[in-house]
Structure 1
């Protein structure tokens, strides 16, 4: 059967990839760029998971999930940029006023890495944005030139990953992660462009 990527509409599957081992733990839940900083700082423990449960029930859902023969193995956060903190981010520019979508987190579960799942997740994020009529999709990966990226910081992806998916560099950013500059990569989804 292989890798299948679907919209993230199953809360328990999202929880399996981005949720904490302990319900009261204060982990990201992939909310850092999705909700305003003030709200993000105010949410603690189980309240974070409850908000994600609400987001999963919305249309569009907050991302896509990858499954390997039915087992959830990965996650990619993807949503309209206007619904994220990237719309007002001082370090990552808005290239233009297009109603683009952003993909900002790609995560593969331990034990499933090194199998190309991140490529499937990025392709699934692109497909979801296209299905919702996005004119373009952006990512903000590190430009690591083949250097080793710390696993805890690898969630943004690499420039090479995005280039392999057809994205092109649209702008430099003032953001640095794990010592590497981040670049704004964009894929135009409009036909004939």
Structure 2
């Protein structure tokens, strides 16, 4: 077994897409739930979520890590600044919001 983990960069989009499958993981969420405001989530759908995360990956910095086992994507972990996830960066949470700048 050969395991590697690295940043999810645009060149790995096809691997990320393959890992998430046709449905986009979690009923088409594409790991955008906490990245979008509630209003944006209500207005979104599977294809918009996919387009959003692809654009986010292309814009950089990498929004997470992709894990590979023998060259096949087998895992994903979303990481990044709190400002990227408005649902975790609001007054209703345990700590004060962080300035997005």
The TM-score bracket by the shorter chain reads: 0.7 to 0.9
Preserved contact between residue 4 and residue 69 of structure 2 (Cα < 8 Å)? yes
Structure 1 residues 54 and 98 mapped into 2: Cα distance closer, same or farther (>3 Å)? closer
Structure-2 residue corresponding to 1:186:
none
Determine the C-alpha separation between the residues in 2 that align with 1:89 and 1:70: 42
Q: TM-score scaled to structure 2, two decimals?
A: 0.77
Unaligned residue ranges in structure 2 (runs of 5+): none
Structure-2 residue corresponding to 1:63:
64
Deviation sequence 1:51-105 (CA, Å, 0-9, x none): 1110111221211100011110000001100121211062x31279699xxxxxx
Structure 1 residues 37 and 17 mapped into 2: Cα distance closer, same or farther (>3 Å)? farther
The alignment yields a C-alpha RMSD, in angstroms, of: 2.7
Unaligned residue ranges in structure 1 (runs of 5+): 100-193
Q: Alignment partner of 2:48: what SS? A: helix
User: Which is richer in helix?
Assistant: 2
Q: TM-score scaled to structure 1, two decimals?
A: 0.43
Higher relative contact order (CA 8 A, sep 6+): 2
| 1:90-169 correspondence runs (5 A) | 90=92, 92-94=93-95
Question: Larger radius of gyration, structure 1 or 2?
Answer: 1
